Amino acid sequence: GAVVSQHPSRVICKSGTSVKIECRSLDFQATTMFWYRQFPKKSLMLMATSNEGSKATYEQGVEKDKFLINHASLTLSTLTVTSAHPEDSSFYICSARARLTGNTEAFFGQGTRLTVV
């Protein structure tokens, strides 16, 4: 199957700083990438959808100024958590959908565990 690489896998940052998480599709072009958040022992909640070259679409209740998403190319999307606070600590997962094939299967990255201290 297609490979989606997400980095870093773990990050610890100080409160008030910003953290960038990268999501790359390694062997396919992704027109659409998705960012999810998963709290401990909970399900995945869709945060936003990003399409290459356009602004991300955020789900209701997700602060677009706090969670900046950039999808500058068909293989890379980034999520920046700005002015992070302890309540932003969570597991963030990206997924990517393949271009052209109309494939509705979404391939997932390995996830990033963010801890804000």
Partner 1 sequence: AQTVTQSQPEMSVQEAETVTLSCTYDTSESDYYLFWYKQPPSRQMILVIRQEAYKQQNATENRFSVNFQKAAKSFSLKISDSQLGDAAMYFCAYVNSGGGADGLTFGKGTHLIIQP
Q: Which is nearer to partner 1, 15 or 26 (CB)?
A: 26
Q: What per-residue string of b and e applies to 55-76 under the rule 16 or more CB within 10 Å gives b?
A: ebebeeebeeeebbbebeebbb
Q: Which is nearer to partner 1, 83 or 105 (CB)?
A: 105
Residue 109 C-beta: closest distance to partner 1, Å:
8
Residue 70 C-beta: closest distance to partner 1, Å:
17
Q: What is the largest CA-CA distance in the chain?
A: 43
Binding positions for partner 1, rule: CB under 8 A: 1, 31-32, 34, 36, 38, 42-46, 49, 51, 91, 93, 95, 97, 102-106, 108, 110-111
Residues 6+ apart with CB under 8 A from 61: none
Q: Which is nearer to partner 1, 56 or 84 (CB)?
A: 56
Q: Which is nearer to partner 1, 11 or 15 (CB)?
A: 11
Tell me the three-class secondary structure of 35-55, residue by residue: EEEECCCCCEEEEEEEECCCC
